[in-house]
Structure 1
Amino acid sequence: MLGKMLNIEDEREIQFLLAHYVHYLDAADGPRWAALFTQDGRWIRRNAAPVEQGGSGIAAGVRQGRAELAALAEFSVQNFKGLCRHQMTDVVLWQGADAGTAEGKCRMIISDFRHGPGRVAMAGSYDLSFTRTPEGWRIAALSADFLPR
């Protein structure tokens, strides 16, 4: 899993990017959330977390490009009515194949407050790929594996 360590500035910029990922998603800011990805960035859902078990109802599959990603963010916000919080934890980042790429892994937790006190609705893990662009570091691909299955 682990490769060469990133330099501190690249790691800080990617951590900053990931913090914006959860804040923009929870704030219903689909266009800004989608802009965290490369133009052809991919959000891959390897499995679906069933609605009856607290999942979002988003089907497994690939969403690619900023327009599709912004629509995905809008669906998530409508589904959870703005009453969920995404959290990325245990983030590990390392150098990719060259200085313009990076890889990572993290865990994620989604808390749901739609029915009063919060509860964990979903948990899982992300595999992450980043590319350095003229805009700065961007997510090239995020592959999600959700619980419950």
Structure 2
Amino acid sequence: MTSTTPRLTCDQRQEIIDLYARYSHAFDEGRADELAALFTEDGVFEREGAAPVVGRDGLAALVRAAAERGPGMRHLVSNILVEASEAGARGQAYALALVVGDTDLRLATFGRYDDEFVPTPEGWRLRVRRFTPFVPAVLANAVLAVTVS
């Protein structure tokens, strides 16, 4: 942050931090339109190794596709950093996604979000979310725990 970059107020910082939770809950509960509304109209989700998803319609479709694969996805987001930027704010956080099944717990992914936020008339919104996985694709869907009956 340079001396000319404005500082975030406590309220602005909290609103941005709340976006992390709103994103996780909306994704995990399959509320596609609600998640898409957390982005700007031209918002982008980028995942290393995949084509970017651009715009609210595409973002909503991403959530619907995940919901069709079945219930149980749970995002756990931690170590959130937020700072002012020239365009608004930047954020970074670790994200662990698990799939909770009837008899097991599986790793969906684990990685880092690098985010760009902008103020809008509706409040702070994601302009870009970049997800960088920390684990290789071969570990996706790896069983972490099994229920013994």
Note the residue ranges of structure 1 that are not aligned, 5 or more in a row: 48-59
Aligned residue in 1 for 2:53:
63
Aligned residue in 2 for 1:82:
71
Cα deviation per residue 1:71-111 (whole Å; 9 max; x = unaligned)? 001111112x111101111110000115xx10011110001
Query: TM-score by structure 1 length?
Result: 0.83
Match of 1:43 among 34, 37, 45: 45
> What is the identity, as a one-letter code, of the residue corresponding to 1:132?
P
Aligned residue in 2 for 1:94:
83
8 Å Cα contact 1:123/1:148 also seen in 2: no
Question: Which is bigger in relative contact order (C-alpha 8 A, separation at least 6)?
Answer: 1
> What is the identity, as a one-letter code, of the residue corresponding to 1:36?
L
> What is the identity, as a one-letter code, of the residue corresponding to 1:62?
P
CA distance in 2, matches of 1:133, 1:17: 13
* Bigger Rg, which one: 2
Aligned residue in 2 for 1:18:
20
CA shift for structure 1 position 26: 0.6
CA distance in 1, matches of 2:45, 2:102: 28
8 Å Cα contact 1:89/1:106 also seen in 2: yes
Note the residue ranges of structure 2 that are not aligned, 5 or more in a row: 138-149
How many matched pairs? 133
Q: Percent identity?
A: 30
Large movers: runs of 4+ above 3 Å: 2-5
